[in-house]
Amino acid sequence: MPFRKHYTGLLDRYRDRLPISEDTKIIDLGEGNTPLIKLKNIPGEMGVDAEIYVKYEGLNPTGSFKDRGMCMAVTKAVEEGSKAIICASTGNTSAAAAAYAARAGITAFVLIPDGKIALGKLAQAMMHGAVVIQIHGNFDDGMQLVKEVGEEAPVTIVNSINPFRLQGQKTAAFEIIEELGAAPDYHCLPVGNAGNISAHWMGYVEYAEDGIVPTRPTMVGYQAAGAAPFMRGEMVDEPETVATAIRIGHPQSWDKAWNVQKESGGWFDECTDEEILAAQKLLAEREGVFCEPASATSVAGALRDLKSGKIPAGSKIVCTLTGHGLKDPDTAIKQSTRELITVDATLEDVKGAILNNM
């Protein structure tokens, strides 16, 4: 029987569409090739007529979409002779930067907001050997410091202001088109720093301009209500939301994202923390897909816009789920409605617990 070729990561798969050469030493962890899962239960139960898919980026090596861009950024940093990288992070970027730096044998410096990062993400950065610097400030403060340090120290910035990050992240659009055989009608994403929505649009435009598909999707970005500068029309100095991955008030891809909205005919909107957590729970309980809170923002917004008719019935929709639910287990446990059942280790007690909960 024929065997499937070993998958070696998105840089090798899309080498001809990325700024690398045959001589480039690729730093990879098998990222990309993530599942595109069709929702089977939620649309009917929520009374919406649509074909909804979720792109489950939580199954990347470090559990988030950040790996797509980080493999590209670190590969180019090493190619250019850099011995250290630096980033500001609400968690996922630091985890990815630390992992790929470890793979490359270089040092990762990560700046995180003190007390404002999910422990799952902090654990990753620390275990991968990054130098973790907590600051008394938020992500936006950290980002400003990183840009200043980048001008004075021999380190490569690997936040999404690094153009190679978006080059790697655009490959998610390639994968979606290749699986669906076409571009979706709508692509919905959580928006924090706004690099991901910009990168996806780059990928869709590239395949359309090359004649691989005839259409491009309408791009829709959803923010948390407490961190929604695109809805306010200006930067937000003190963003607050349970969705820590998008707790960002000064998006670094501000101009790019506005261009995406204009060119695709899309829009931005916001979801409350209650809507975000409800969508996270709904995905886990009804579809078996466990994502972190920020990820569920895309589904919360899409369902609401389907119900209102803003997204037409019968549409084919892809929602990006940016990170795995285990990134923030504390938030997940707090909203679980299933209580732990403690019984004696006897057949009678265990059977009774089962029968009482069927």
Binding residue numbers for pyridoxal 5'-phosphate: 92, 192-196, 322
Q: Is 132 helix (H, G, I), strand (E, B) or coil?
A: strand
Ranges of beta strands (E only) in 164-273 are 186-190, 218-224, 267-271
- Binding-site residue set: 92, 192-196, 322
Please check whether residue 284 is in contact with residue 225, taking contact to mean a CB–CB distance below 8 angstroms. no
Instruction: Provide the token pair at 313.
Output: 């019935």
Q: How many CB atoms lie within 10 A of CB 344?
A: 7
Q: Decide the pairing of beta strands 315-321 and 186-190.
A: parallel
Both ends of the chain: CA-CA distance in Å?
44
What element of type H or E holds 315? strand 315-321
Q: Are the C-beta atoms of 230 and 268 separated by less than 8 Å? A: yes
Nearest to 159 by CA among 172, 144, 174: 144
**Pair type for strands 50-56 and 315-321:** parallel
CA–CA distance, 207 with 182 (Å, rounded to integer): 10
- Strand 84-88 relative to strand 107-113, pairing: parallel
Q: Are 319 and 283 a contacting pair, CB within 8 Å? A: no
Q: Which helix (H) or strand (E) holds 321?
A: strand 315-321
Name the E strands within 49-157.
Answer: 50-56, 84-88, 107-113, 131-135, 156-157
